[in-house]
Amino acid sequence: MKTRAAILEKLNSPLVVDEIEIPPLACGQVLVKIHCSGICGAQLGEIAGVKGEDKFLPHLLGHEGGGVVLETGPGVLHVKQGDHVVLHWRKGAGIQAQPAKYQWNGRTVNAGWVTTFNEHAVISENRLTPIPKDIGFEVAALMGCAITTALGLINNDARVKIGQSVAVFGCGGVGASVVQGAAMVSADPIIAIDIHDHKLDMAREFGATHFINSVKSDLKAEILKIVGTKGVDVAVENTGIIKLIELAYAITAPKGRTILVGVPRFDQDITIHSLPLHFGKVLTGCEGGHSIPNEDIPRYLNLYRKKKLRLDDLITHRCELSGINDALDDIRAGRVGRCMISMSRYKLERGLTTDNTDSTD
């Protein structure tokens, strides 16, 4: 069986959209028809080689998606044929299988435990969480990374308390979700920071109380004007830009937490005054908000059903798989909140969601 996929063949190059051969299922593997995939900043980093040499080229990409289980391999008990599922990169319930290897014009194409930039994918069982069939595949994709990372960050990494101040550097899909999570736990003030006014407008809709365009302002002075000279209780840095990481740490209060979501290039280092770390200040990286998908996703979907968690408005752009390179350029240019790739072969229109039937054809 063949399927279309977007392949990373060379770093810093457009993805190649072509057909690949799907391998037979091994123990713990699941064949999923992917209906929708989100594009995360992590994929931009992979394409740009921010972590250094990539020994697995060519390989597939994508780690948040929604789809339908077509077939299960030996040992799989957590999902079954016909299930609607979230595809996520954090470990959930079930077997951690060997990553799949595909064939492409006589070459091996590597894949991790989950990939979503393909119409069909072989996924490790523990990267799938079943969901009710009335949940849209776009919402499912958001649960794969953007929402679970952001809300997990608020609950598990930052442990924001009622009335604590939060500053969010970078207000794309994850940043806007962090803002929403901070608002849900009654943080105050919630400061949204970006270089694009339309992203600040989106942050306003999700609960930010103050807004700073860092191109137009003295960023440090504006933040301290809002929270006072002590600094913010929680600073969340989403961009991976060295000077912003250093600034986020500098404006964090002596007992506050600086949480890094964005990843700088492997050859770049930050410079900080480390003494406050010995007296209660925290600087840490965010690993998907330490979310537990099979536990957290059902809770978040319950909030979504009750209109206590806004998800649909996070999606600002949609594309087909054939247009993925244009979508990546739009994200790099800062024009996008969250972009969704539809694997269905029909014309996409703004506001259209993917088909929610359980068809496996």
| Tens of pLDDT, residues 278-295 | 999 999 999 999 999 999
pLDDT given at position 126? 98
β-strand pairing of 210-213 with 190-194? parallel
Q: If you count them, how many residues does the chain have?
A: 361
Residues 226 and 243 in one domain: yes
Give the whole-number percent of the chain exceeding pLDDT 90. Answer: 93
Residue type at 175 in one-letter notation: G
Domain of 25, CATH number, reads 3.90.180.10
What is the model's pLDDT at position 357? Answer: 38
Stretch (H or E) spanning 245: helix 242-250
Are residues 135 and 160 located together in one domain of the fold? Answer: no
pLDDT score for 361: 33
pLDDT score at 247? 98
In terms of domains, do 229 and 153 share one? Answer: yes
Closest CA to 352 of 342, 337, 338: 342
CB neighbour list of residue 87: distance below 8 Å, 6 or more residues apart: 32, 34, 37, 63, 64, 65, 66, 67, 114, 116, 121, 123, 127, 128, 140, 141, 144
Same domain, 191 and 236: yes
355 pLDDT tier (thresholds 50, 70, 90): very low
The pair of three-digit structure tokens given for residue 70, joined into one six-digit string: 């077509």
Residue 297 located in a structural domain: no
238 and 331: one domain? no
Q: How confident is the model at residue 214 (pLDDT cuts 50, 70, 90)?
A: very high
* pTM for the predicted model, two decimal places: 0.91
Given this model, what pLDDT does residue 233 score? 98
pLDDT at 350: 31
Asked if residue 354 has pLDDT above 70, the reply is no
* Same domain membership, residue 242 and residue 151: yes
Instruction: For residue 281, give the CATH number of its domain.
Output: 3.40.50.720
- The 10s digit of each residue's pLDDT in 182-208 is 999 999 999 999 999 999 999 999 999
Give the chain's radius of gyration (CA, Å). 20
Do 9 and 131 lie in one domain? The reply is yes
Q: Are residues 150 and 268 in the same domain?
A: yes
Arithmetic mean of pLDDT, 67-92: 98
Q: Are residues 150 and 285 in the same domain?
A: yes
Distance CA 148, CA 135 (A): 16
- Domain containing 58 equals 2-144+314-342
Mean pLDDT of the chain: 94
**pLDDT recorded at residue 77:** 97
Instruction: Assess whether 216 and 232 both reside in one domain.
Output: yes
Give me the amino acid identity at 70: L
In the prediction, which pLDDT does 349 show? 34
Residue 75 — pLDDT band, cuts 50, 70, 90? very high
Shared domain check, 244 and 128: no
| Domain shared by 58 and 178, yes or no | no
How many domains does the chain divide into? Answer: 2
